[in-house]
Chain A
Amino acid sequence: DTGVSQDPRHKITKRGQNVTFRCDPISEHNRLYWYRQTLGQGPEFLTYFQNEAQLEKSRLLSDRFSAERPKGSFSTLEIQRTEQGDSAMYLCASSSQKKTGELFFGEGSRLTVL
């Protein structure tokens, strides 16, 4: 399977705990995106990487959120001191520079904060 993979698929945590999600993009894709999706809504942009550089961050991404892509391959999204409002599906996508707008999404990591 050469698609975008995300881990874990589901995470249940207590309020105040830290969580980390991992995304492995399609290997030849240099662009990587994180989106957040809540029930009944479309995905909301969080951040975007080109290779290892984080080029844009949404204002939705508070100081408790941090994303990295250290070697321009996999990426991690960490949420510190989770709140119940952080409960959502966190989507990762990757794309090639050659195909504008054609994002390949993973199946998502669902976060439930109790």
Chain B
Amino acid sequence: AQSVAQPEDQVNVAEGNPLTVKCTYSVSGNPYLFWYVQYPNRGLQFLLKYITGDNLVKGSYGFEAEFNKSQTSFHLKKPSALVSDSALYFCAVSLLYNFNKFYFGSGTKLNVKP
């Protein structure tokens, strides 16, 4: 069975500091990996994806994520957090042979304090 784990329910970081939101996955096959963000009362928004190629992918709003096959991880990072980054972040995985079915993690609430 495919699954995604986001081990932290909440991450707190001060504005200007680097942030990391963790994600690990378990799949049978080659994964496609994604990060989505959800702001209050808004729909989920696509941030970035890893399909193939360079393990470091860059996305919207200065976010990036690194695919680590040996550790089955896809952590989301940003060098300098903004208060406006405060939101709920979801990691998701799908499979090469069935990329239309996504498995989402339970989400991590990011709080960026001024």
Binding site for B on A (CB under 8 A): 3-4, 31, 33, 35, 40-45, 48, 50, 55-56, 91, 93, 100-108
Contact = CB atoms under 8 A, between A and B. Distances in A.
14 contacts: A33-B100, A40-B106, A42-B90, A42-B92, A56-B100, A100-B49, A101-B94, A101-B99, A102-B46, A103-B102, A104-B43, A105-B43, A105-B44, A105-B45
A45 B44 contact: no
Contacts of B34: 101
- The winner among A42, A50, A103 for most chain B CB atoms within 10 A is A42
Contacts of B36: 103, 105
Interface in B38-55: 41-46, 49, 51
The number of chain B residues touching the other chain, given as a range, is 20 to 34
A42 B107 contact: yes
Contacts of A55: 100
Contacts of B94: 101
B104 A43 contact: yes
A31 B100 contact: yes
Given A45-B101, A101-B34, A102-B49, 17 more contacts: A31-B100, A35-B102, A35-B104, A40-B107, A42-B92, A42-B104, A42-B107, A43-B44, A48-B101, A91-B43, A101-B46, A101-B49, A101-B51, A104-B43, A105-B36, A107-B42, A108-B43
A4 B101 CA distance: 19
Nearest to B104: A42
Given A42-B90, A101-B49, A107 B104 contact: no
A41 B104 CA distance: 9
A71 to B, nearest CB: 20
A48 B103 CA distance: 13
B106 A103 contact: no
